Amino acid sequence: MGFGSGAGHPRGDRLQSLRRLPRTLPKLGLVLLWGSALVLAGCNGTDAPPPDATLSPDPAALVSTPLPNPGPLQLQVIRGTEAEGNLVASTLILGATEAILVDAQAKPSQAQGVIQALQASGKTLKAIWITHGHADHYFGLTAIVAAFPDVPIYTTPAIAAEIQTRTPAFLQVFQQNFPEEQVTAPPLPMAYSDPTLTIDGETVEIIPLTQGDTPHQAPLHIPSLSTVIAGDVVYGDVHLYLREALNPEGRQAWLASLDELAALNPQQIIPGHASPTYQAPGLEPLEQTRQYLLEFDRAVAESATLEEARSALMTRYPNYRYPFLLDSALKTLYPEDAAPDPSQDFPESAPEDSPEDSPEDLAPDL
Ligand SMILES: [Zn+2]
């Protein structure tokens, strides 16, 4: 999940949003979606969590779900809270003696739940894998590395470069909005080029993909468990973050990524974000994500206005979490329909985006 920009919309629109954000919405009206930036919950005033939810991190509130997997490896999913944890998954792959952690939560305070689960497992943390370069998946590294100082952190070379580029801007947002977290720059993942990881002799395959909710994603496939840890290529009952796949080509590329995961024919898929009650067997999470992308395509193609498109998608997905993610995408696609902000004073004639946003282009979007 994140907040960047896609092709084909005016840079001025997002710069205006940035400019006016600190002055027009109180901090407590925000929820931080760590994908890449501040996203306004309650852009329409209805979707924000209780105001104090962002100020009282409670590691015990992390949802921990042991998954019933026979065989040499076990999985444990630890999911951030709905109010402040973005429902983001951290997954422990547990072998007889070793553990690999996949994704590290957003806030260091939220990562405490991951640390507790690792300590309770009694396993040796062998490595941490980061699935993509959105901050909600790696800013908790600060706390995890403090507890496990020697553990190597890996991701693909493309994602490592992206994280290096984006981290300074993420850090600025973090420090400005959550000073109580006292966050310093998290350790950066090392570029890992091998096609697999191993844990207690078992193989974990790395599946580099070219589009999910950000252009580079690296899910893991565990053949012995017939499981894919999907990162933000697959969501579960949560509106997709589409700001980095706003044009049809981006969504086609995301669909192609889903095809690649489907070809693995996993019996279990762990979405990067999912509602607390989400359960779907086999390929269903993947198919639901595919359907959402197609429905979004159709709604945008058939709708003349933002409200028309929003209505079509909210009717189709009335119970999906975080509707403001949908609003965020639609406001960019229908800038003429987005509610004007009387306080914004940024010039309307800002330069246009390039057709493809680079990570460097996205970073200042915070
Ligand atoms: Zn995410």
pLDDT confidence band for 188 (50 / 70 / 90): very high
Question: How many Å lie between the centroid of ligand 1 and the Cα of residue 258?
Answer: 16
Is 71 in contact with 202 (CB distance < 8 Å)?
no
The predicted pLDDT at position 332 comes to 92
Q: What CA–CA distance (Å, rounded) separates 119 from 113?
A: 10
Q: Does residue 103 belong to any structural domain of this protein?
A: yes
Mean of the pLDDT values across residues 329-349?
Answer: 64
Question: How many Å lie between the centroid of ligand 1 and the Cα of residue 103?
Answer: 10
Which of 329, 324, 271, 1 has its CA nearest to residue 136? 1
Q: How many residues does the chain have?
A: 366
Rg (CA), the chain: 19
Question: How many Å lie between the centroid of ligand 1 and the Cα of residue 89?
Answer: 8
Among left, alpha and beta (phi > 0; psi -120 to 50; other), residue 351 is beta
Question: How many Å lie between the centroid of ligand 1 and the Cα of residue 321?
Answer: 13
Segments in the chain forming alpha helices (H): 11-24, 108-121, 141-147, 157-177, 248-263, 284-302, 306-316, 323-333, 359-362
Q: Does residue 75 belong to any structural domain of this protein?
A: yes
Residue 218 has pLDDT above 80, yes or no: yes
Which of 139, 82, 150, 83 has its CA nearest to residue 114? 139
Q: What CA–CA distance (Å, rounded) separates 20 from 37?
A: 14
Q: Does residue 338 belong to any structural domain of this protein?
A: no
Task: Give me the domain span that covers residue 218.
Answer: 59-227
Mean of the pLDDT values across residues 224-240?
Answer: 97
Question: How many Å lie between the centroid of ligand 1 and the Cα of residue 132?
Answer: 8
Question: How many Å lie between the centroid of ligand 1 and the Cα of residue 345?
Answer: 31
Question: How many Å lie between the centroid of ligand 1 and the Cα of residue 100?
Answer: 19
Q: Does residue 120 belong to any structural domain of this protein?
A: yes
Question: How many Å lie between the centroid of ligand 1 and the Cα of residue 264?
Answer: 22
Question: How many Å lie between the centroid of ligand 1 and the Cα of residue 45?
Answer: 23
Q: Does residue 31 belong to any structural domain of this protein?
A: no
Question: How many Å lie between the centroid of ligand 1 and the Cα of residue 302?
Answer: 28
The per-residue pLDDT for range 11-25, each reduced to its tens digit, is: 333 333 333 333 222
Question: How many Å lie between the centroid of ligand 1 and the Cα of residue 237?
Answer: 14
pTM: 0.80
Percent of the chain with pLDDT over 70: 73
The predicted pLDDT at position 43 comes to 30
Is 118 in contact with 100 (CB distance < 8 Å)?
no
Q: Looking at this protein, which amino acid is placed at residue 52?
A: D
CB atoms within 10 A of CB 302: 10
Question: How many Å lie between the centroid of ligand 1 and the Cα of residue 269?
Answer: 16
Average pLDDT of the chain to the nearest whole number: 80
The per-residue pLDDT for range 261-313, each reduced to its tens digit, is: 999 999 999 999 999 889 999 999 999 999 999 999 999 999 999 999 999 99
Question: How many Å lie between the centroid of ligand 1 and the Cα of residue 231?
Answer: 7
What is residue 202's three-state secondary structure?
strand
pLDDT confidence band for 50 (50 / 70 / 90): very low
Question: How many Å lie between the centroid of ligand 1 and the Cα of residue 352?
Answer: 27
The predicted pLDDT at position 124 comes to 97
Domain total in the chain: 1
Strand partners, 191: 155
Burial of 97 from C-beta contacts in 10 A (0-12 / 13-18 / 19+): exposed
pLDDT confidence band for 1 (50 / 70 / 90): low
Question: How many Å lie between the centroid of ligand 1 and the Cα of residue 347?
Answer: 32
CB atoms within 10 A of CB 191: 15
The per-residue pLDDT for range 51-101, each reduced to its tens digit, is: 332 323 344 456 667 666 667 899 999 999 888 788 999 999 999 999 999
Question: How many Å lie between the centroid of ligand 1 and the Cα of residue 348?
Answer: 31
Question: How many Å lie between the centroid of ligand 1 and the Cα of residue 349?
Answer: 32
The DSSP code for 87 is: T
pLDDT confidence band for 178 (50 / 70 / 90): confident
In the β-sheet with 63-66, what is the strand arrangement from edge to edge? 63-66, 74-79, 89-94, 98-102, 124-129, 153-155, 190-191
Question: How many Å lie between the centroid of ligand 1 and the Cα of residue 1?
Answer: 3
CATH code at 106? 3.60.15.10
Residue 225 has pLDDT above 70, yes or no: yes
